[in-house]
Amino acid sequence: MFFQTDQLQHLLDNLQAKGYACIAPQVRHETIIYDEITSVVQLPQGINDQQQPGSYSLSANNGSKYFDWANGPQAIKPLLFAPTEMLWSSTRNADGNISFSAVEKSEKKLAIIGARACDIAALKIHDLHFLQQQFVDPYYQARRENLLIIAVNCSHPADTCFCYSTGDGPFVKDGGDIVLTELQHGFLIAAQTEQGENVLSKLVLQESTAEQCAESERIKSNASKQNRQLPKLDVKSRLFDELDSETWHTIAEKCLSCGNCTSVCPTCFCHSENEVPELDGKSSSHYREWDSCFGQGHSYIHGITIRNGTSLRYRQWLTHKFSSWIDQYGRSGCVGCGRCITWCPVAIDVTESVAQIVEAP
């Protein structure tokens, strides 16, 4: 189906009427971030992004499209798996009795507009990790159940994108509620779930024409031409064959162990638990916060740091992401979004790192 660009505001209004807060891209801090909007004028219209290893910038192209860019540093991850959140609190009375209470479930309904194929692939991985293993994470679950996803197919991959090579993009296969393709004069729109159908039924839509479908196919074909890719070798076993490779040390000489890559990675799930007691001693709060395998404390056990250097930490990150992740979740932990390349302050390119390790003679 097709709808005119001016219907986009109706979509926002309808979602808000259904009680959703609309989370959508907007230009802020010289990048594109996702936050609440109420009007389409807040969207990044006529904006392109330029991404290179270690650099990100935006420019105006005077066009009318809203989604003419690849991605920003955030994805869906912070909306469901909060960067920091309280899990529970405890109080202690004068007799020394301790009582615990969990943080109440979040009932806020969120509609995310403009999620990309890579982000949705990452979301599915987090669903597996937080919801479909032995233990269900109630905090993630509460937000997940209240999330509606309006995805947008990618038209302009960045120089750092390689989702075509991981098989996750540039178009959304499934996992969204609604998928949009932005054409020159409007959007193709399709529902992928019943929830999505309900939203669609409130919009004024037209049958899409053959010409519009052909335009969409051209966009897909262009967006699939990406500058970067992963090696076509057996990366999974090659990485563990090369645990002693000198290349780990070569990369580590450059790597700052800053953890930017793990922060922007849409699939990294490590987090630490921290206690924040009140000064009066009567109560205390228990938080979790994103953590990184690049940090000193990540592998610490009573006096021993198991990964006491950058080469071991980089090796942990890469072998986990591209190899042991497959044993854990049935697929690689990389969705090809390229964020770790763009946001690395020293421009380490993960596709190059993997190639250097696995293509060693």
Partner 1 sequence: MFDMNPYLPHEALIIERIQEAPELFTLRLEFTEPEIQHRYKFEPGQFNMLYLYGVGEIAISIVSDPEDGNIIDHTIRVLGRVTRGMNKLKKGDRIGLRGPYGRGWPMQEARQKDVVLITGGLGCAPVVSAINYIQQRRAQFGRLNIVQGVKHSDDFIWKDRYDQWRELPDTKVLLAADVGAELWPWHIGPVTVLFDQLEFDPQNVCVMMCGPEGMIRATCDHMLEKQVLPEQMFLSMERNMQCAIGHCGHCQYGDKFVCKDGPVFSYDKIRDLFAVKGF
Q: Return residues touching partner 1 (CB under 8 A).
A: 87-88, 90, 92, 96-102, 104-105, 129-130, 133-138, 240, 243, 269-275, 277, 281, 284, 286, 288, 291, 293, 297-303, 306-307, 312, 315-316, 319-320, 324-325, 327-328
Residue placing its CB nearer to partner 1 in the complex, 228 or 313: 313
Residue placing its CB nearer to partner 1 in the complex, 42 or 285: 285
- Closest CB 320 distance from partner 1, rounded Å: 7
Cα 162 to Cα 38: distance, rounded to the nearest angstrom:
32
- Closest CB 87 distance from partner 1, rounded Å: 5
Pairing outcome for strands 84-92 and 98-102: antiparallel
Residue placing its CB nearer to partner 1 in the complex, 311 or 342: 311
- Closest CB 267 distance from partner 1, rounded Å: 11
Residue placing its CB nearer to partner 1 in the complex, 218 or 282: 282
Residue placing its CB nearer to partner 1 in the complex, 69 or 290: 290
- Closest CB 81 distance from partner 1, rounded Å: 10
Residue placing its CB nearer to partner 1 in the complex, 39 or 133: 133
Per the listing, tokens 């969120």 go with: 110
Residue placing its CB nearer to partner 1 in the complex, 143 or 315: 315
Distances 351 to 312, 335, 358 between C-alpha atoms, Å: 18, 12, 11
33 phi and psi, to 5 degrees?
Answer: -120, 165
- Closest CB 20 distance from partner 1, rounded Å: 24
- Closest CB 345 distance from partner 1, rounded Å: 23
Residue 123: CB atoms within 10 A of its CB come to: 26
- Closest CB 236 distance from partner 1, rounded Å: 11
